[in-house]
Structure 1
Amino acid sequence: MTPLSRTRLVVLAAVMGLVAWAIARMAVASGSTPLAVPWTVLVVAGLVGVLVLWLGWAVRQYRRGKNPGLSGLRAARTAVLAQACAYTGSIIAGTFAGYGLAIALEWSHAPRREVAISAFVAVLGGLVLVVAALIAEHWCKDGRDDDNEGGSAPA
């Protein structure tokens, strides 16, 4: 399994932000009322981040020999979950950042300002999820460098 690429996460967030910004600007320009983002996005993303960290911690303890009952399959599934959460958090952060920036252009209008603030709070939820996933994925790595790519067998 290849480790997460931080560059890929940033590019994904930027692309999603650009798409969300363009769609939100077109919708607002056509007279649509922007919808507030539920504040629960932050709570749910935070809870999933805590879950990923908890599962990642169990794998970390397994790798250090302190949790021998953990199966290798669960460790692999935790690593995959961490990567999926990183991508999901990146998409959430980018999408709501673009949406919030598009609405924030009309900051002087109080109801739209509240919508923009709710979108920026959701961005925090996405960032929490990305950071938790990156930490958990780091705990799941085996820590060895791939020195034997040249064809030599390990000793």
Structure 2
Amino acid sequence: MEPLSRVRVAVLAAIVGAVAWGVTVTAVNSGASPMAVPWTVAAIAVGVGLVALWLGWGVRQYRRGKNPGLSGLRAARTAVFAQACAYTGSILAGAFAGYGLAIALEWSHAPRREVAISALIAALGGLAMVVAALIAEHWCKDDSSSSDEGGKAPQTTP
């Protein structure tokens, strides 16, 4: 499995943000009323990020020899879950940031300001999800520099 690329995650967020910004500006200029983003979006994103951290912590403990009962399949699933969370959080962060920034163009209008703030809070929730997923994925990676043999992975013979 290929490790996460922070650049890829950031580029995905930027592309989705640009598209969301363009669609929102077009819709608002056509007369559509923007809708507030529910606070549950940010709460659920943070919650999913915490689940990724919790699962990643178990894998980290396993890799340090403190949780020998963990299966390799669960560790692999945790790494895949962390990557999925990173990409999903990136999409959420980009989409809500683009939406919020497009609405924030009319900051002096109080109802639109509230919509922009709710969207930016949701974007922060997506960003928290990305950060948590990157940490969890890092805990799942096999970095041979942490082994006891001076940076070399242990050798096994058949």
Partner residue in 2 for 1:71:
71
Q: How far did residue 142 of structure 1 move?
A: 1.0
Separation in 2 of the partners of 1:98 and 1:42? 15
Q: Which residue of 2 aligns with 1:131?
A: 131
1:62-83 CA-partner distances (Å, limit 9, x unpaired): 0111111100000000000000
How far apart are residue 126 of structure 1 and its match?
Answer: 0.5
* Aligned-residue offset at 1:48: 0.6
Cα displacement string for residues 131-150 of structure 1 (whole angstroms, at most 9, x for unaligned residues): 000000000011127xxxxx
**Aligned pairs (5 A) from 1:52-63:** 52-63=52-63
User: Where in structure 1 do 4 or more consecutive aligned residues deviate above 6 Å?
Assistant: none
Residue number in structure 2 paired with 1:13: 13
TM-score of the superposition, structure 1-length normalised?
0.93
Aligned-pair identity in percent equals 74
Distance (whole Å) between structure 2 residues aligned to residue 99 and residue 124 of structure 1: 13
What is the total number of aligned residue pairs between the two structures? 147
Deviation at 1:19, TM superposition (A): 0.4
Q: Distance in 2 between matches of 1:52 and 1:9?
A: 17
1:10-89 correspondence to structure 2 within 5 Å = 10-89=10-89
Structure 1: unaligned runs, 5 residues or longer: 146-153
CA deviation after TM superposition for structure 1 residue 42, in Å:
1.1
Pair 1:118-2:137 in alignment:
no
Q: What is the one-letter code of the residue matched to 2:132?
A: A
Letter paired with 2:108: S
Q: What is residue 150 of structure 2 aligned with on the other side?
A: none
For 1:61 and 1:9, how far apart are their aligned partners in 2? 26
Alpha-carbon RMSD across the aligned residues, in angstroms, is: 1.0
Residue of structure 1 in register with 2:149 after alignment = none
Deviation string, structure 1 residues 71-101 (Cα, Å, up to 9, x no partner): 0000000000000000000000000010001
Alpha-carbon distance between aligned partners in 1 of 2:21 and 2:144, rounded to the nearest angstrom: 41
Q: Give the 3-state SS of the residue equivalent to 2:66 in structure 1.
A: coil
Residue equivalent to 2:152:
none
CA distance in 2, matches of 1:19, 1:144: 40
Determine helix, strand or coil for the equivalent of 2:106.
coil
Under a length normalisation based on structure 2, what TM-score does the superposition of the two structures give? Answer: 0.91
Aligned to 2:59, the other structure's residue is in SS state helix
